[in-house]
């Protein structure tokens, strides 16, 4: 399809008349059109369409329908039907009451164009530009970030079921693209093993029998790979993504062919790096405290100034195992590109590291506000922690609370980081009256980061105990409400699509939908609700 960019038409008179008669006070879709306009134009997506060919349905309309679709958690077919039968949608899309809309497959094609052109970010960025023009969004305020887990659109598979399901997957792909080759090279007994749906309940339960089953599947996989690598096999079969997936999974789960190709007791890689399913190669196994899942993780960054609407400004979608602390630089780079860096960035302890505290301030001028990770040493609670020691960086001298000077200052490397190890004399520590408050060994040892990082850590820990910190940090909690809204109303928790890029597109669309709702509510004068208090707690607070 080609793009014939046309000016945005006005709302048809009949559509406007009927819509205002039915909704005299408007609704979110009508208010969006009246206050924000159409947000998008055809020119914004012109590079995604060819010059010649059948004219495409207006991209600005498809972009809006995509946002509306996620606002209400609709499928493509339901969204296409809503364009035909929802009066408020016709109002927002400048369509006649009698307009018949489009086939639902157009939405999938539009999303594919966005992903192929790496243009999914435009859905959010164009709305943010409109908000900036309207004075509803400004840089250098206060923003907050938090992450939540995303379930991939796949089954969670055990190791044994994963390799068996990989065989099913590759055999089905080969049967579609090369049926004659499959009939010639695949043993008939494989039909019994791989033609039916595989379930965990049907697999052997005893460990020895389960290992035998896994080795049988492994032998079948090696046989199939040998047949595909044979000189007589078509070259294009060897490069199929499904064949590559089979080879990768077998390398991860089985010993090398030269070593017998048997089932490994443990995979070759950590669980976080293993292919979790042949159907979604980007999904990974993740763990956060007591939560285990297979899929992804999304980070929402949102404004939280009290005199402006709370708008999501940045969205990052990552593999499930990627830690929060590694995302601060990416988030700040994204915000800097949009000229939306905040003065204060509120985060939980998962994002706060010594390096992030320093780098956020030095590179972006952002004050990273959040609780630092607590040390597990008993000195932090009842004894002498690092804050009780005086450090002279020029002379490399550390003075303990009892006035003793360190006996050594040694540069060390630990996990790729340059650190300083400071030791005190055993003689000084042995007779110290405060020894039990300082160390449980014969002498105290301190491990220091660089001067800038150590000073930043001490300042952050000191700030945590102030009332100003508590007053500022309370604004972070609202991001969890945003996650709840996206999960409950828009299906954020489970990905609709396969793969990281398509999943990220859905997160961008959800964030944009949340912003539309937040902005229209704010313009109507509605303020975010406070944390709900149970009736029991409320009356007890009143009694107190």
Q: What is the pLDDT of residue 217?
A: 96
**Structural domain includes residue 429:** yes
- 353: buried, middle or exposed (CB in 10 Å: 19+, 13-18, 0-12)? buried
Distance, C-alpha 287 to centroid of its chain: 14
**Residues whose CB falls within 8 Å of the CB of residue 163, separated by 6 or more in sequence, listed in order:** 214, 217, 218, 221, 249, 250, 253, 254
Q: Which domain holds residue 294?
A: 142-149+285-372+470-523
Number of structural domains in the chain: 4
Please indicate, yes or no, whether residues 368 and 476 belong to a single structural domain of this protein.
yes
Structure tokens at 379: 């000195």
Structure tokens at 514: 């949340």
**Structural domain includes residue 541:** no
Please indicate, yes or no, whether residues 362 and 490 belong to a single structural domain of this protein.
yes
Distances (CA, A) of 334 to 51, 189, 301: 31, 54, 10
Nearest to 297 by CA among 174, 145, 411, 513: 145
Please indicate, yes or no, whether residues 22 and 102 belong to a single structural domain of this protein.
yes
Q: Which residues of 521-539 are buried (b: 16+ CB within 10 A; e: fewer)?
A: bbbeeeeeeeeeeeeeeee
Cα angle, residue 197 at apex, residues 194 and 200 outer, rounded to 5°? 100
Q: What is the pLDDT of residue 1?
A: 56
DSSP β-bridge partners for residue 367: 344
Q: What is the pLDDT of residue 376?
A: 52
Please indicate, yes or no, whether residues 83 and 47 belong to a single structural domain of this protein.
yes
Contact 104/77 with Cβ under 8 angstroms?
Answer: yes
Please indicate, yes or no, whether residues 237 and 305 belong to a single structural domain of this protein.
no
Structure tokens at 368: 């990273």
Please indicate, yes or no, whether residues 357 and 383 belong to a single structural domain of this protein.
no
Our CA dihedral for 41, 44, 50, 51, rounded to 10 degrees, sits at: 70
Q: How far is it, in rounded angstroms, from Cα 404 to Cα 402? A: 6
Please indicate, yes or no, whether residues 292 and 394 belong to a single structural domain of this protein.
no
Dihedral angle sign, alpha carbons of residues 392, 398, 400, 402: negative
**Structural domain includes residue 266:** yes
Q: How far is it, in rounded angstroms, from Cα 72 to Cα 280? A: 26
Q: What is the pLDDT of residue 54?
A: 74
DSSP count for the chain of H helices, then E strands: 23, 11
Please indicate, yes or no, whether residues 339 and 425 belong to a single structural domain of this protein.
no
Q: What is the pLDDT of residue 543?
A: 76
**Structural domain includes residue 55:** yes
Distance, C-alpha 237 to centroid of its chain: 34
Please indicate, yes or no, whether residues 364 and 476 belong to a single structural domain of this protein.
yes
* pLDDT one-digit tens code per residue, 446-455: 999 999 999 9
**Structural domain includes residue 358:** yes
**Structural domain includes residue 173:** yes
Domain boundary among 212, 243, 273: 273
Contact 96/10 with Cβ under 8 angstroms?
Answer: no
* Helical ranges in 6-86 per DSSP H: 13-22, 28-36, 59-71, 76-85
Domain boundary among 273, 296, 316: 273
Structure tokens at 307: 């005199």
**Structural domain includes residue 8:** no
Q: How far is it, in rounded angstroms, from Cα 45 to Cα 58? A: 10
Structure tokens at 145: 């970030």
Please indicate, yes or no, whether residues 368 and 387 belong to a single structural domain of this protein.
no
Nearest to 509 by CA among 32, 72, 59: 72
**Residues whose CB falls within 8 Å of the CB of residue 298, separated by 6 or more in sequence, listed in order:** 147, 148, 150, 315, 316, 317, 318, 492, 507
**Residues whose CB falls within 8 Å of the CB of residue 429, separated by 6 or more in sequence, listed in order:** 404, 435, 438, 439, 442, 443, 444
Reduce the DSSP state of residue 292 to 3 states and report it: strand
Please indicate, yes or no, whether residues 301 and 242 belong to a single structural domain of this protein.
no
Structure tokens at 172: 């089905």
**Structural domain includes residue 136:** no
* pLDDT one-digit tens code per residue, 141-164: 999 999 999 999 999 999 999 999
pLDDT along the chain (544 residues), means of 10: 77 96 94 95 91 81 98 97 97 96 95 96 97 93 97 94 97 96 95 93 93 96 95 93 97 89 91 93 93 96 94 97 95 96 96 94 95 68 84 95 93 90 92 87 91 93 93 93 96 97 98 97 83 84 76
Cα angle, residue 163 at apex, residues 161 and 168 outer, rounded to 5°? 90
Please indicate, yes or no, whether residues 366 and 392 belong to a single structural domain of this protein.
no
Q: How far is it, in rounded angstroms, from Cα 264 to Cα 500? A: 28
């Amino acid at each position: 399809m080609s793009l014939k960019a046309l000016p945005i038409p006005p709302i048809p008179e009949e559509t406007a008349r009927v819509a205002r008669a039915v909704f005299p006070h408007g609704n979110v879709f009508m208010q969006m059109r009246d206050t924000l306009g159409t947000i998008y134009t055809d020119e914004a997506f012109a590079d995604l369409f060819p010059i010649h060919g059948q004219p495409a349905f207006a991209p600005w309309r498809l972009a809006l329908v995509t946002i509306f679709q996620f606002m209400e958690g609709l499928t493509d077919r339901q969204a296409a039907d809503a364009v035909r039968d929802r009066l408020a949608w016709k109002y927002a899309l400048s369509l006649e009451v009698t307009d018949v809309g489009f086939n639902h497959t157009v939405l999938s094609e539009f999303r594919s164009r966005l992903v192929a052109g790496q243009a999914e970010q435009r859905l959010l960025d164009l709305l943010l530009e409109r908000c900036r023009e309207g004075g509803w969004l400004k840089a250098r305020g206060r923003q907050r970030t938090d992450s939540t887990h995303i379930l991939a659109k796949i089954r969670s598979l055990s190791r044994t079921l994963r390799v068996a399901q990989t065989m099913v997957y590759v055999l089905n792909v080969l049967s579609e693209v090369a049926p004659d080759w499959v009939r010639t090279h695949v043993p008939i007994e494989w039909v019994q093993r791989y033609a039916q749906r595989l379930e965990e309940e049907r697999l052997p339960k005893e460990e020895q029998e389960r290992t035998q089953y896994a080795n049988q599947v492994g032998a079948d996989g090696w046989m199939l790979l040998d047949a595909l690598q044979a000189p007589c096999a078509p070259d294009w079969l060897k490069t199929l993504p499904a064949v590559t997936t089979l080879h990768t999974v077998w390398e991860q789960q089985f010993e090398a062919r030269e070593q017998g190709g048997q089932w490994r007791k443990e995979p070759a890689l950590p669980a976080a790096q293993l292919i979790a399913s042949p159907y979604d190669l980007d999904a990974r196994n993740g763990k956060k405290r007591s939560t285990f899942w297979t899929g992804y993780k999304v980070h929402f960054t949102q404004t939280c100034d009290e005199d402006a609407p709370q708008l999501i400004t940045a969205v990052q979608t990552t593999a499930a195992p990627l830690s929060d602390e590694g995302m601060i630089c990416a988030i700040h780079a994204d915000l800097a590109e949009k000229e939306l860096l905040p003065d204060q960035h509120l985060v939980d302890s998962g994002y706060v590291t010594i390096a992030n505290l320093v780098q956020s301030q030095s590179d972006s001028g952002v004050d990273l506000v959040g609780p630092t990770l607590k040390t597990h040493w008993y000195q932090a609670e009842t004894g002498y922690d690092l804050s009780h020691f005086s450090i002279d960086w020029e002379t490399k001298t550390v003075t303990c609370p009892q006035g003793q000077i360190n006996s050594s200052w040694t540069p060390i490397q630990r996990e790729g980081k340059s650190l300083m190890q400071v030791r005190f004399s055993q003689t000084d520590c042995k007779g110290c009256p405060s020894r039990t408050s300082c160390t449980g060994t014969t002498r105290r040892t301190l491990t220091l980061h660089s001067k800038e990082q150590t000073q930043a850590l001490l300042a952050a820990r000191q700030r945590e105990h102030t009332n100003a910190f508590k007053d500022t940090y309370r604004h972070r909690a609202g991001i969890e409400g945003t996650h709840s809204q996206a999960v409950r109303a828009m299906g954020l928790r489970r990905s609709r699509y396969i793969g990281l890029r398509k999943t990220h597109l859905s997160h961008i669309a959800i964030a944009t939908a949340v912003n539309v709702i937040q902005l229209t509510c704010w313009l109507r004068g509605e303020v975010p609700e406070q944390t709900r208090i149970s009736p029991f707690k409320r009356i007890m607070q009143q009694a107190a």
